[in-house]
Amino acid sequence: MVGLMEIERPVKELEGKIAELKNLAETEKIDLSDQISTLEERAEKLKKRLYKNLTPWQKTQMARHPMRPYTLDYAQALFDEYIELHGDRCCGDDKSIVGGFAKLDGRPVIFIGHQKGRNTRENIERNFGSAHPEGYRKAMRLMEQAERFKRPILTFIDTQGAFCGIGAEERGQSEAIASSLCFMSRLKTPIIAVIIGEGGSGGAIGLGVGNRILMLENSVYSVISPEGCAAILWKDAGRAREAAEILKLTASDLKQLGVIDEIIPEPIGGAHNDYEKTIAAVKRAIKRHLSELSVMSAEELVANRYDKFKRMGVVGSIMP
């Protein structure tokens, strides 16, 4: 979290001074309101300046911030009701992908997302948000029901990647992700994918085949982590900062590359500084896209999703 501390430090210092002054004014009964409001103004300006110009690496830190709202925080605040369903009916229940039935302002939807943990105990339970194959198989089971009962699907993406381990390989991590891609592409129901934090490679795209792909302002989405990229390029994972620049992983980069449809702005200071505002903005965006997609027929939805991904990529030709 070094990068983040760096950005947050001057703001935190100023805020500390303001608190000190307020305290002083209180205990000594002196009027410091002028000084306080000057400092407060300065802090606001500083925040605006700092948070509007975050580097890709700083955004990566924001996306990974342990206080950032996670999938279940959204589930709680976004919906009138949410009931979690468990298991892939085959092997187990993967707690790094959660999902279930939800009601968005009265409208039934299927909600699925990666879930990270906030502390060691939770992270052990959630496997740091890195899913095993059964996570994707559970997701497919729920998505199949979404199609059968004509419910839209919302997927929330927040993972450093699908898990790399012996069990994951034995149970077919590749097959699970591949099947999910293939399966999602043909579903006759609207799918909206929202990248709320880290969009880590295959683990992210495994839930990411949507008609609309939205991304929070300080989220990242990439084929490889900046650390992994730096380790390959320069044999030095410590150069992740530079790799983050190269990878074009920020929301604005992805909008330019035509990979995402919309950037959802975050409150100043990032999503973790104001859950309510963040979740409200996410809700507004989802509802808008959902109402646009709701007028499309099943065939149009499938064609729309296919064409959307078909367009992605840049190729040249040897022909002049």
Name the pairing type of β-strands 97-104 and 262-264: unpaired
Say whether residue 92 binds another protein (CB under 8 A).
Answer: no
Of 85, 84, 81, 87, the closest CA to residue 108 belongs to: 81
Give 7 or 209: the residue with its C-beta nearer to another protein. 209
Say whether residue 313 binds another protein (CB under 8 A).
Answer: yes
Q: What is the size of the binding site for another protein (CB under 8 A)?
A: 56
Which of 221, 244, 281, 289 binds another protein (CB under 8 A)? It is 221
- The distance of closest approach from Cβ of residue 185 to another protein in the complex, given in angstroms and rounded to an integer, is 3
Give 39 or 207: the residue with its C-beta nearer to another protein. 207
Q: Are 94 and 141 in contact (CB under 8 A)?
A: no
User: Containing H/E element for 26?
Assistant: helix 2-28
Cα distance between residue 217 and residue 197, in whole Å: 9
Of 141, 124, 127, the closest CA to residue 86 belongs to: 141
- The distance of closest approach from Cβ of residue 173 to another protein in the complex, given in angstroms and rounded to an integer, is 4
- The distance of closest approach from Cβ of residue 193 to another protein in the complex, given in angstroms and rounded to an integer, is 10
Q: What ranges in 165-263 are assigned the alpha helix state H?
A: 166-170, 173-185, 201-205, 226-234, 240-247, 251-256
Of 16-24, 73-81, 246-254, 280-288, the segment contacting another protein by CB under 8 A is 246-254
What's the one-letter identity of residue 269? G
Of 176, 270, 160, the closest CA to residue 216 belongs to: 270
Which of 14, 15, 77, 183 binds another protein (CB under 8 A)? It is 183
Residues binding another protein (CB under 8 A): 162-166, 168-175, 177-179, 181-186, 201-202, 204-206, 208-209, 221-224, 229, 232-233, 246-249, 253-254, 257, 259, 305-306, 309-310, 312-319
